[in-house]
Amino acid sequence: MYTKSFWNQFVPAREFPGLAGSTEADVAVIGGGITGITTAMLLAKRGLHVVLLESMRVGGGTTSHSTGNLYSTVDKNLKQLYNKYDAEIVKKVVSSRAAAMNQIESNVHGYQVDCDYKRVPWYLYAGISENNSMIDDEYNHAMKSDVAAGWATSADIPTGFTKGVVVPAQAQFNPVKYVTGLAGAAESDNLQIYENTVVLKVDEEKDRVILETTGGLVTARYAVHATHTPKGVKVYHTVLGPYREYGIACRAGERYFPEGIFWGYYEDGRKYSIRHYDNNGERYVLVIGEPHKVGQSDDNIRAVKNLEAFASTHLGLNDVAYRWGGQHYRPADLLPYIGRESKTSNVFVATGFSTDGLVYGTLAAMIIADEITNAPNEWSEMYSAHRFTPVKSAAQFLKENINVAGEFLKVLPGMKDTSDFVNVKPGTGAIVEKDNTKIAAYRNDTGQLTLVSAVCPHMKCIVNWNNAEQTWDCPCHGSRFKTDGTVLEGPAFHALHRITVEGEDVKKEGH
Ligand code: FES
């Protein structure tokens, strides 16, 4: 496999059991990443009985593909928030994120989670002078937002530098050690955690929610979609853009590397996030960048190669030990959607975190725990999951949905890579059209073909081949599937159908 997440090596060997039989709870949490585990922990501490359902391993999904960086500002820059909101809202965004960081710090200390947590400075800088004005802008907006920003110097920064801003006392940790450590510490009579348990359906009735899973039914008063994007067909998918970016971890030997979170702007305004992490006496430098819409790159390997070229040119690092992809969902009005699906619903969502998910995931847990237990929360309205902001969302809404509409057209006959399986080379995948059926065909290195339907079970877009991660990725709302059709992430509940071909006849099997 070409990609393997740096953080996945920290997923512990000990597994939580799978659900075996039906059960009841006050709250069912879907997803065992930072959002789900924190939500479950907070609610169990308040005396509610919580069941958490993770389709794979706790901490092994999006959390293990993140950066481990924690900061109170935002990836899209404060300036962009000011294009849509006034200073009062932007200050609340920053202060809510700072509160979530404090919650993480208190969990680390309270539960004694061994996750290499430390406070470090955060830097936003121009690697080349063409980007200096962006830095001036961000400094000015940080001042307006009560962010304790100062000016950085070239001595602080590990690459070329022309101008930069620093915010002290932000933080870093190992995201997998944090989430798995928190899960282990928080598991109790009030909190049962199940791994390898896939949720197939969520039905909300008058005063209960019923979840159909691969291990049995779960009946709860409340359900929380802590799955990065909610499962099923939801209105949110029209206001969220699914994006993927890549990360690499390079061996850095004995080389000195300053402490901090480094976000630098380089040629063509490209932004890269850089940090280091020491593991067992070995120093690694992590570089993240090259964002693009899920399922819409014709060569994902090229994106990884671009990162490698950046690390070589700007950091002098050439020994790449890990490569991986990570997903994020950009909300049209720049704020996440957190809380009840509607005013009266007992189903909660937490989505649209952009690339700021470790802090927003924790904040979502705090807000949802307060809403379920009827405790006041000063940020709940601002991030409300049923807010509607037509003016603030309009431009981005149109852009994302015109893009999605274009992808839906690929379902039409003739839109394919090839009509003959012999053209699918070993180690690659392609969309083959046979008998008016679009087939996602993957041939492994020994020549064996695996065939699944190319039609995404979420809303019927046609999936595309991701050559870096060897997955089928849906370009519409970001569902991703293994070559055998199993769901990896995204809103799809069900796998891609298995396909068999006999002569010219194409047969579709169950999930
Ligand atoms: Fe929505 Fe595939 S994720 S159609």
Which residue has the least CA distance to atom 4 on ligand 1? 459
Q: How far is the CA of 407 from the centre of ligand 1 (A)?
A: 10
Angle between helices 87-110 and 132-144 (to 10 degrees): 80
Atom of ligand 1 nearest to the CA of 475: 2
Which ranges of the chain have pLDDT less than 50?
Answer: none
> Which residues does ligand 1 sit against, CB inside 6 Å?
456, 458-459, 461, 474, 476-479, 490-492
Neighbour count for residue 266 (Cβ, 10 Å): 19
d(CA 52, CA 49): 10
What is the DSSP code string of 166-235?
EEEEEEE--HHHHHHHHHHHH-BTTEEEE-S--EEEEEE-SS-EEEEETTEEEEEEEEEE-SSS-SSS-G
- Beta-strand runs (E) in 233-305: 240-251, 261-265, 271-279, 282-293
Tens-digit pLDDT profile for residues 162-182:
999 999 999 999 999 999 999
pLDDT of residue 155: 93
Q: Identify the burial level of 460 via C-beta atoms within 10 angstroms of its C-beta, where 0-12 means exposed, 13-18 middle and 19 or more buried.
A: exposed
The pLDDT value recorded for residue 347 is 97
Tell me the CA–centroid distance for residue 160 and ligand 1, in Å: 41
Look up tokens 């920053």; give the residue: 94
User: For residue 390, what pLDDT is reported?
Assistant: 60
What is the distance between the alpha carbons of residues 456 and 460, in angstroms, rounded to a whole number?
Answer: 5
Q: Supply the pTM of this predicted model.
A: 0.93
Q: Kindly give, in sequence order, each residue whose CB lies less than 8 Å from that of residue 462, ignoring residues fewer than 6 positions away.
A: 407, 410, 411, 415, 431, 438, 454, 455, 456, 475
Q: How far apart are CA 484 and CA 442, in angstroms?
A: 9
Distance in angstroms (rounded) separating the CA atoms of residues 153 and 138: 16
CB 338 within 8 A of CB 367: yes
96 Cα: distance to centroid of ligand 1 (angstroms): 32
* Minimum-distance ligand 1 atom for the alpha carbon of 463: 2
**CA distance linking residue 171 with residue 257, whole number of Å:** 16
pLDDT attached to residue 235: 81
Six-digit token string for 449: 């073909």
- The alpha carbon of 213 is separated from its chain's Cα centroid by a whole number of angstroms, namely 22
pLDDT value for 13:
80
Ligand 1: which atom is nearest the Cα of residue 477? 3
Q: Which atom of ligand 1 is nearest to the CA of 490?
A: 3
